[in-house]
């Protein structure tokens, strides 16, 4: 379907209006007034300077600076405008509305608008009558946070001293400084020697300024390995309340195993037979030996009796809970071993392994909490074959025959007994 000529015009006009309307709605008026020749208009660290006004020509020349750096310059006729990039991708537009003489110097009436920027973020928004020399700019403070340790290679259980200092570099003081030092994995906080209690209101900049001590604390290594300490984060603002953030360095600490104690319970499970007939018994011997250098506590071995087998009896140290045998030892001293025996009965034909779960805990002499250990064991495979008399179960006729034979023998014996009983 082709549009007719009138329709095209209407559609074009509608699109233009839509575009203009949307543009107008995104702009925010910043200033609408006069600027005298030689005066500047400051928007944060940006300066718009009207250098020459020609009322007769209806023109005015302008310069735009970011601090002292010239960004753009030009000459505007009345009702002309120009635009330049502002902070954070914002746009500033100035339109020359009129020029006129009056007073000592000529004046220009301008309209300054901005887009894509929140006007609330403008911390300077005014005419500076003294011109550029009268403008003052907010600086960029740079807070250097240093995290230092007294030792970089230690053993488990050793303590390191961590010192955090801060120094402001850049061209502005850091205000309202807040330090955040997260908890450190693999270490425990042993002692805090010094810590700034609240926010630091201001840390001045300049080479002559001493470092600011933030905190001193001691960490105790709990685990062997090489670890990077987490950085201290500082949050602060400049004089214009702009927010900044800095992070410290991350010192590397190597923690060696050292003299950390350990319990190591070895489990040996032996079987007297690997092949039995149904209804025969198997004796298993369990030896628990602590080969470590710390006492093992709450040593517990749960013996998982397979479905096809039945627990019959065991040594005094073996208790049965819910029909499942369990060995429990309060404390197993280093280099000590304990032996237990228990008896199982093969109930069903098949191949079985006896699984067991070992758990114990010990103190490594370093950590406040006991270390918990667990392990699983499996015996060799046990083959359960048919019992000697299982064929009777398979073929009841044998039982009947056996009963008949036994009954016949019984009758015979009874009759003989009666025959000879006097």
Partner 1 sequence: MLNILVIGNGQCGNRILDSINRHAMGGGKSCNRLAKFYSRQKFKSHVETLAFNTAVNDLKEMKFTKAKDRIHIPHLHGVGANRNIGKQVFEQNKEMIMRQVEERGNFDIAFVLTSASGGTGSSFTPLLVREMKNRYNYPVYCIVVLPFREEGTLYLQNTAFSIRDIRQSGVDGIILADNQYLKNIGGSIEEAYNGINDMIAERLLFLLDALDSEMMMVTDLGDFKTVMSGGAGLATIGFFRADREMPIKTAIQNALSPSGLLFSTNVYEEASRAMVVIKGDRKYLSIDEISTEVEKLSGAVGHVFKGIVVRDGEYPQVLSLLTLESAHELEKLYSVAVQAIHYEKAKKQRMEKGDEMRKTFSQIEGMEPEY
Which residues are at the interface with partner 1 (CB under 8 A)?
412-413, 416-422
Q: How far apart are the C-alpha atoms of 348 and 310, rounded to whole Å?
A: 10
Identity of the residue, 56 or 419, whose beta carbon is nearer to partner 1 in the bound complex: 419
Identity of the residue, 183 or 421, whose beta carbon is nearer to partner 1 in the bound complex: 421
Minimum CB–partner distance for residue 404 and partner 1 (Å) = 18
Q: How far apart are the C-alpha atoms of 247 and 198, rounded to whole Å?
A: 18
Identity of the residue, 394 or 421, whose beta carbon is nearer to partner 1 in the bound complex: 421
Contact between 116 and 128 under an 8 Å Cβ cutoff? The reply is: no
Identity of the residue, 69 or 418, whose beta carbon is nearer to partner 1 in the bound complex: 418
Identity of the residue, 4 or 417, whose beta carbon is nearer to partner 1 in the bound complex: 417
- Which DSSP state fits 67? T
Minimum CB–partner distance for residue 392 and partner 1 (Å) = 24
Residue 362's CB is within 10 A of a number of other CB atoms, namely: 26
Burial 301-323 (b: 16+ CB within 10 A, else e): bbbebbebbbbeebeebbeeeee
Minimum CB–partner distance for residue 327 and partner 1 (Å) = 49
Minimum CB–partner distance for residue 401 and partner 1 (Å) = 20
Identity of the residue, 24 or 420, whose beta carbon is nearer to partner 1 in the bound complex: 420
Cα separation values, 209 from 178, 194, 205, 212, 240, Å: 19, 21, 6, 9, 21
Minimum CB–partner distance for residue 405 and partner 1 (Å) = 14
Identity of the residue, 394 or 418, whose beta carbon is nearer to partner 1 in the bound complex: 418
- Which DSSP state fits 292? S
Minimum CB–partner distance for residue 408 and partner 1 (Å) = 13
Minimum CB–partner distance for residue 280 and partner 1 (Å) = 31
């Amino acid at each position: 379907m082709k549009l007719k000529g009138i329709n095209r015009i209407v559609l074009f006009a509608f699109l233009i209006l839509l575009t203009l309307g949307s543009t107008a709605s995104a702009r925010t008026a910043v200033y609408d007034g006069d600027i005298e020749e030689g005066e500047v208009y400051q928007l944060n660290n940006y300066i718009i300077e009207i250098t020459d006004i020609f009322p007769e020509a209806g023109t005015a020349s302008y310069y735009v600076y970011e601090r002292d750096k010239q960004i753009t310059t030009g000459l505007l006729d009345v009702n002309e405008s120009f635009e330049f990039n502002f902070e954070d991708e914002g746009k500033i537009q100035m339109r020359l509305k009129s020029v006129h003489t009056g007073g000592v110097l000529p004046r220009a009436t301008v309209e300054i608008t901005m887009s894509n920027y929140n006007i609330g973020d403008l911390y300077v928004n005014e005419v500076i009558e003294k011109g550029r020399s009268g403008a003052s700019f907010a600086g960029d403070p740079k807070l250097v946070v240093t995290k230092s340790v007294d030792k970089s290679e230690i053993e488990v259980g050793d303590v390191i001293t961590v010192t955090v200092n801060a120094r402001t570099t850049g061209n502005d003081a850091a205000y309202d400084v807040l330090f955040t030092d997260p908890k450190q994995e693999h270490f425990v906080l042993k002692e805090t020697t010094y810590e700034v209690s609240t926010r630091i209101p201001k840390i001045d900049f300049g080479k002559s300024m001493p470092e600011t001590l933030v905190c001193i604390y001691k960490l105790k290594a709990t685990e062997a390995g090489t670890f990077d300490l987490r950085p201290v984060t500082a949050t602060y603002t400049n004089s214009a309340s702009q927010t900044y953030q800095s992070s410290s360095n991350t010192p590397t600490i190597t923690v060696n195993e050292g003299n950390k104690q350990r319990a190591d319970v070895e489990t040996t499970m032996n079987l007297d037979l690997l092949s039995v007939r149904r209804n025969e018994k198997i004796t298993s011997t369990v030896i628990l030996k602590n080969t470590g250098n710390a006492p093992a506590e709450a040593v517990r071995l749960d013996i998982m009796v397979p479905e096809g087998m039945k627990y019959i009896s065991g040594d005094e140290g073996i208790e049965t809970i819910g029909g499942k045998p369990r060995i429990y030892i309060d404390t197993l001293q280093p280099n000590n071993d304990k032996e237990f025996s228990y008896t199982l009965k093969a109930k069903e034909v098949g191949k079985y392994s006896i699984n067991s779960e070992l758990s114990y805990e010990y103190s490594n002499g370093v950590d406040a909490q006991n270390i918990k250990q667990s392990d699983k064991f499996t015996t060799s495979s046990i083959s359960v074959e048919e019992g000697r008399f299982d064929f009777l179960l398979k073929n009841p006729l044998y039982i009947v025959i056996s009963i008949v034979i036994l009954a016949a023998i019984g009758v015979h014996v009874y009759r003989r007994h009666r025959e000879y009983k006097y």
